[in-house]
Structure 1
Amino acid sequence: MPTQPTIARIWRGRTRPEIADSYEAYIKAEGIPPLERTALGVQLFREDREHESWFTTISYWPDFESMTAFTKGTPTKVHHLDRDPEFLIELPEFIQIHRILVDRQGLR
């Protein structure tokens, strides 16, 4: 039986709308694959606003220890991708860590 996630690790960053498509392709190619290999699951969201585009990545972990092993230390520390300074309006300073209290999918 697959392990259920108990932890969600949430990263948010924003870019200019005119380069949002390029950043989306970049984060899908460079940021998501390592999470797909190690986390129980990962989601990437995009919200386009008039003057900025927001990206949110949520990865799901069975426990704090496995997330800490992936981050090689402090899970709240941001590990920027090499080209993040080129794309992002500002470099995010923190990651949010949330315990999952309810996990229901497929609700109607």
Structure 2
Amino acid sequence: MEKQPKAKIARIWRGRTLPHRADAYEAYNYEAGIKPLIDKALGVQTFREDRGNDTEFMTISYWESIEAMARFTGGDPRRIHHLDRDREYLIELPSEVQILELRTCHGKTS
């Protein structure tokens, strides 16, 4: 059995939508954005925070290297992949992602 590479990089994307559109965006984002990402990244987590005036979504994908992430983005690992309907759903289009080096993992989620 081939050993899976360890995650060394986390790529964090954030986007906000209006509360009445949040459920629809969550479903759309999963189908159009998360499902294809699952096959490329080592792991993917999605988060949602419902607030008074907006709902924020965060997607964290895990990668073995900056190079692996760059292959996914087609060059610049900070490049955003806007989905076809993001303009329709999101309050503003995110202009960047956050890239963090994973230093340690503890507990049951590691």
TM-score range, shorter chain: over 0.9
Normalising by the residue count of structure 1, what TM-score does the alignment of the two structures yield?
Answer: 0.96
Q: Show the 5 A alignment for 1:1-108.
A: 1-106=3-108
Distance 1:70 1:101 in 2: 22
Dislocated runs of 4+, deviation >2 Å: none
Unaligned residue ranges in structure 1 (runs of 5+): none
Q: Which amino acid aligns with 1:62?
A: E
Aligned Cα RMSD in Å?
1.0
Q: Which amino acid aligns with 2:6?
A: Q
Distance 2:42 2:106 in 1: 15
Distance 1:48 1:14 in 2: 10
Q: Secondary structure at the match of 2:11?
A: strand
The alignment of Structure 1 onto Structure 2 pairs a total of residues equal to: 107
Q: Which amino acid aligns with 1:27?
A: N
Normalising by the residue count of structure 2, what TM-score does the alignment of the two structures yield?
Answer: 0.94
Q: Secondary structure at the match of 1:31?
A: helix
Distance 2:34 2:55 in 1: 18
Deviations 1:18-63 (A, max 9, x none): 0000000000111001110010000010000011000000000001
Distance 1:84 1:58 in 2: 18
Give the fraction of aligned pairs with identical amino acids, expressed as a percent.
52
Deviations 1:41-89 (A, max 9, x none): 0001000001100000000000111110011011111110000000000
